[in-house]
Amino acid sequence: MTGRIFVLIGPSGVGKTTLASMAQGEGIADRIITCTTRAPRSHETPGQDYFFFTLDEFTSLDLKGEFVESEWIHGHRYGVLVRELSRALQSERTALISLGYGGADRIKVLWPDQVTIIGILPPSPDSLRQRLKDRGTKDDEMILRLRAIDGESRTVKALADIMVVNDQLSEAYRQLRKILRTGSSSHRIADN
Protein backbone atom coordinates (compact mmCIF):
# COMPACT_ATOMS: atom_id res chain seq x y z
CA MET A 1 0.00 0.00 0.00
CA THR A 2 1.57 3.25 -1.14
CA GLY A 3 -1.22 5.82 -1.43
CA ARG A 4 -1.40 8.94 0.73
CA ILE A 5 -4.68 9.99 2.32
CA PHE A 6 -5.36 13.52 3.48
CA VAL A 7 -8.35 13.80 5.82
CA LEU A 8 -10.24 17.10 6.05
CA ILE A 9 -11.94 17.78 9.38
CA GLY A 10 -13.84 20.80 10.62
CA PRO A 11 -17.28 22.13 11.47
CA SER A 12 -20.16 21.67 9.07
CA GLY A 13 -20.30 24.48 6.54
CA VAL A 14 -16.61 25.37 6.75
CA GLY A 15 -15.96 24.34 3.13
CA LYS A 16 -14.41 20.87 3.37
CA THR A 17 -16.45 19.41 0.49
CA THR A 18 -15.87 22.47 -1.69
CA LEU A 19 -12.12 22.34 -1.12
CA ALA A 20 -12.02 18.59 -1.80
CA SER A 21 -14.00 19.06 -5.02
CA MET A 22 -11.62 21.81 -6.17
CA ALA A 23 -8.60 19.55 -5.61
CA GLN A 24 -10.29 16.69 -7.45
CA GLY A 25 -11.29 18.98 -10.31
CA GLU A 26 -7.70 20.12 -10.73
CA GLY A 27 -6.49 16.50 -10.66
CA ILE A 28 -4.35 16.99 -7.54
CA ALA A 29 -6.16 14.37 -5.48
CA ASP A 30 -8.82 11.71 -5.84
CA ARG A 31 -11.74 12.32 -3.52
CA ILE A 32 -12.87 9.37 -1.42
CA ILE A 33 -16.65 9.43 -1.34
CA THR A 34 -18.23 8.83 2.04
CA CYS A 35 -21.68 7.50 2.91
CA THR A 36 -24.54 9.14 4.76
CA THR A 37 -28.14 8.56 5.77
CA ARG A 38 -29.16 12.20 5.35
CA ALA A 39 -31.08 13.26 2.26
CA PRO A 40 -29.16 14.81 -0.64
CA ARG A 41 -29.13 18.59 -0.77
CA SER A 42 -30.39 20.22 -3.98
CA HIS A 43 -26.87 20.69 -5.40
CA GLU A 44 -25.58 17.20 -4.52
CA THR A 45 -25.30 14.24 -6.86
CA PRO A 46 -25.56 10.71 -5.41
CA GLY A 47 -22.36 8.73 -6.02
CA GLN A 48 -20.42 11.92 -6.68
CA ASP A 49 -20.88 13.95 -3.50
CA TYR A 50 -21.92 11.10 -1.15
CA PHE A 51 -23.30 7.60 -1.32
CA PHE A 52 -26.79 8.11 0.12
CA PHE A 53 -28.43 5.25 2.05
CA THR A 54 -31.52 4.79 4.14
CA LEU A 55 -30.85 4.10 7.81
CA ASP A 56 -31.78 0.43 7.28
CA GLU A 57 -29.40 0.08 4.31
CA PHE A 58 -26.59 1.77 6.22
CA THR A 59 -27.15 -0.38 9.31
CA SER A 60 -27.12 -3.54 7.18
CA LEU A 61 -23.79 -2.58 5.59
CA ASP A 62 -22.38 -1.73 9.01
CA LEU A 63 -23.40 -5.10 10.44
CA LYS A 64 -21.66 -6.82 7.50
CA GLY A 65 -18.41 -4.98 8.32
CA GLU A 66 -18.47 -2.88 5.14
CA PHE A 67 -17.32 0.31 6.91
CA VAL A 68 -13.83 1.13 8.18
CA GLU A 69 -15.54 3.60 10.49
CA SER A 70 -19.01 4.96 11.01
CA GLU A 71 -20.50 7.49 13.36
CA TRP A 72 -23.52 9.61 14.14
CA ILE A 73 -23.12 13.29 13.25
CA HIS A 74 -25.97 15.78 13.74
CA GLY A 75 -28.60 13.03 13.74
CA HIS A 76 -27.38 11.13 10.67
CA ARG A 77 -25.00 8.23 10.12
CA TYR A 78 -21.80 8.74 8.17
CA GLY A 79 -19.17 6.20 7.23
CA VAL A 80 -16.31 5.19 4.96
CA LEU A 81 -16.60 2.01 2.95
CA VAL A 82 -13.68 -0.41 3.28
CA ARG A 83 -13.54 -0.79 -0.51
CA GLU A 84 -13.19 2.97 -1.07
CA LEU A 85 -10.39 3.35 1.46
CA SER A 86 -8.57 0.21 0.28
CA ARG A 87 -8.65 1.44 -3.31
CA ALA A 88 -7.04 4.73 -2.24
CA LEU A 89 -4.38 3.10 -0.05
CA GLN A 90 -3.37 0.65 -2.78
CA SER A 91 -2.99 3.31 -5.44
CA GLU A 92 0.01 5.49 -6.18
CA ARG A 93 -2.23 8.56 -5.94
CA THR A 94 -3.05 11.14 -3.33
CA ALA A 95 -6.57 10.82 -1.93
CA LEU A 96 -8.67 13.31 -0.03
CA ILE A 97 -11.58 12.59 2.29
CA SER A 98 -13.80 14.66 4.57
CA LEU A 99 -14.59 12.92 7.86
CA GLY A 100 -16.01 13.42 11.32
CA TYR A 101 -13.59 13.66 14.21
CA GLY A 102 -13.98 10.08 15.42
CA GLY A 103 -13.47 8.70 11.92
CA ALA A 104 -10.40 10.84 11.28
CA ASP A 105 -8.82 9.76 14.54
CA ARG A 106 -9.53 6.08 13.86
CA ILE A 107 -8.09 6.13 10.34
CA LYS A 108 -4.98 7.99 11.55
CA VAL A 109 -4.45 5.31 14.23
CA LEU A 110 -4.84 2.51 11.66
CA TRP A 111 -2.52 4.06 9.02
CA PRO A 112 -0.34 6.67 10.76
CA ASP A 113 2.29 6.79 8.01
CA GLN A 114 -0.19 7.23 5.15
CA VAL A 115 -2.75 9.57 6.73
CA THR A 116 -2.42 13.31 7.35
CA ILE A 117 -5.26 15.19 9.05
CA ILE A 118 -5.90 18.73 7.83
CA GLY A 119 -8.06 20.90 10.08
CA ILE A 120 -10.27 23.43 8.29
CA LEU A 121 -11.70 26.22 10.47
CA PRO A 122 -13.77 29.32 9.76
CA PRO A 123 -12.29 32.72 10.68
CA SER A 124 -15.17 33.29 13.12
CA PRO A 125 -18.50 31.84 14.30
CA ASP A 126 -20.29 34.69 12.46
CA SER A 127 -18.74 33.69 9.14
CA LEU A 128 -19.79 30.09 9.74
CA ARG A 129 -23.35 31.22 10.57
CA GLN A 130 -23.51 33.07 7.23
CA ARG A 131 -22.18 30.05 5.30
CA LEU A 132 -24.74 27.77 6.92
CA LYS A 133 -27.49 30.28 6.16
CA ASP A 134 -26.33 30.63 2.54
CA ARG A 135 -26.55 26.89 1.99
CA GLY A 136 -30.09 26.73 3.37
CA THR A 137 -29.48 25.18 6.78
CA LYS A 138 -32.66 25.18 8.85
CA ASP A 139 -32.71 27.42 11.93
CA ASP A 140 -32.94 24.58 14.47
CA GLU A 141 -30.04 22.71 12.86
CA MET A 142 -28.01 25.93 12.61
CA ILE A 143 -28.46 26.61 16.33
CA LEU A 144 -27.14 23.13 17.18
CA ARG A 145 -24.14 23.50 14.90
CA LEU A 146 -23.24 26.96 16.15
CA ARG A 147 -23.49 25.84 19.79
CA ALA A 148 -20.92 23.16 19.01
CA ILE A 149 -18.39 25.44 17.27
CA ASP A 150 -16.12 26.14 20.29
CA GLY A 151 -15.81 22.47 21.19
CA GLU A 152 -15.34 21.52 17.55
CA SER A 153 -12.59 24.11 17.09
CA ARG A 154 -10.69 22.67 20.07
CA THR A 155 -11.14 19.14 18.70
CA VAL A 156 -9.91 20.16 15.24
CA LYS A 157 -6.81 21.80 16.71
CA ALA A 158 -6.09 18.72 18.85
CA LEU A 159 -6.44 16.19 16.00
CA ALA A 160 -5.03 18.06 13.02
CA ASP A 161 -1.49 17.65 11.76
CA ILE A 162 -1.92 20.85 9.71
CA MET A 163 -4.36 23.78 10.05
CA VAL A 164 -6.00 25.92 7.35
CA VAL A 165 -8.39 28.79 8.11
CA ASN A 166 -10.95 29.18 5.33
CA ASP A 167 -11.43 32.93 5.39
CA GLN A 168 -11.11 33.39 1.63
CA LEU A 169 -11.76 30.24 -0.40
CA SER A 170 -9.02 30.97 -2.94
CA GLU A 171 -6.38 31.38 -0.20
CA ALA A 172 -7.56 28.29 1.69
CA TYR A 173 -7.40 26.31 -1.54
CA ARG A 174 -3.90 27.64 -2.29
CA GLN A 175 -2.75 26.35 1.11
CA LEU A 176 -4.50 23.00 0.63
CA ARG A 177 -3.00 22.58 -2.85
CA LYS A 178 0.49 23.23 -1.44
CA ILE A 179 -0.06 20.62 1.28
CA LEU A 180 -1.33 18.02 -1.20
CA ARG A 181 1.49 18.63 -3.67
CA THR A 182 4.28 18.43 -1.08
CA GLY A 183 2.66 15.47 0.67
CA SER A 184 4.28 16.63 3.86
CA SER A 185 2.82 16.57 7.33
CA SER A 186 6.09 17.57 9.00
CA HIS A 187 5.03 21.19 9.35
CA ARG A 188 1.95 23.05 10.48
CA ILE A 189 0.27 25.77 8.47
CA ALA A 190 -0.22 28.81 10.67
CA ASP A 191 -3.84 29.37 11.51
CA ASN A 192 -3.83 33.12 11.07
pLDDT for res 77: 96
Give the whole-angstrom CA distance, residue 119 versus residue 65.
Answer: 28
Domain boundaries, the chain: 4-182
Task: Give the DSSP H/E element, type plus range, for residue 98.
Answer: strand 94-98
Whether residue 8 contacts residue 161, with contact meaning beta carbons closer than 8 Å, is answered with: no
pLDDT for res 186: 41
- Coil/strand/helix, residue 154: helix
pLDDT, one tens digit per residue, over 89-125 is 888 889 999 888 888 998 999 889 899 999 999 887 7
| Residue 192 banded pLDDT, cuts 50, 70, 90 | very low
Average model confidence (pLDDT) across the chain: 86
- Coil/strand/helix, residue 10: coil
- 87 closest CA partner among 77, 97, 95: 95
Residue 133 clears pLDDT 90, i.e. is over it:
no
Compute φ and ψ for 35, nearest 5 degrees: -110, 150
When pLDDT is averaged across residues 19-46 and rounded to a whole number, the result is 92
CATH topology for 4-182?
Rossmann fold (3.40.50)
